[in-house]
């Protein structure tokens, strides 16, 4: 797969571009598999996108098939697994 690099002029443009990409991928995944799985990062980097997508008045909020989206939270930091016998 060849990488696709997008350059945005400001954080709002980046959030809108990411929202459009997520909406497109969500619809394609739901059409093909009846679900869309996405891992969301925490922290301040994706905050603008999160706020934009969660806002009921935002452009892409109504376009998402929310009932078919499965969310997972992720963390880019390597953390050793903690195994504990119960």
pTM of the model: 0.76
Within-domain flag for 34:
yes
One digit per residue, the tens of pLDDT, for the chain of length 86 reads: 798 888 999 988 988 888 889 999 999 999 999 999 999 887 787 888 888 788 888 777 788 899 999 998 887 777 777 766 65
Within-domain flag for 82:
no
For residues 60 and 22, is the Cβ–Cβ distance under 8 A? yes
pLDDT for res 85: 63
Distance CA 51, CA 62 (A): 14
Q: Name the residue range of residue 53's domain.
A: 28-74
pLDDT for res 15: 87
Distance CA 62, CA 21 (A): 15
Distance CA 26, CA 38 (A): 9
Within-domain flag for 50:
yes
pLDDT for res 8: 93
Within-domain flag for 20:
no
């Amino acid at each position: 797969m060849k990488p696709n690099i997008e350059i945005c002029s400001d954080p709002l443009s980046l959030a809108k571009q990411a929202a459009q990409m997520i909406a497109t991928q969500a619809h394609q995944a739901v059409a093909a598999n009846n679900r869309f799985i996405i891992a969301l990062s925490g922290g301040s980097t994706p905050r603008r996108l999160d706020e934009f997508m969660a806002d009921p008045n935002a452009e892409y909020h109504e376009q998402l098939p929310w009932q078919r989206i499965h969310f997972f939270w992720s963390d880019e930091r390597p953390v050793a697994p903690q195994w504990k016998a119960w």
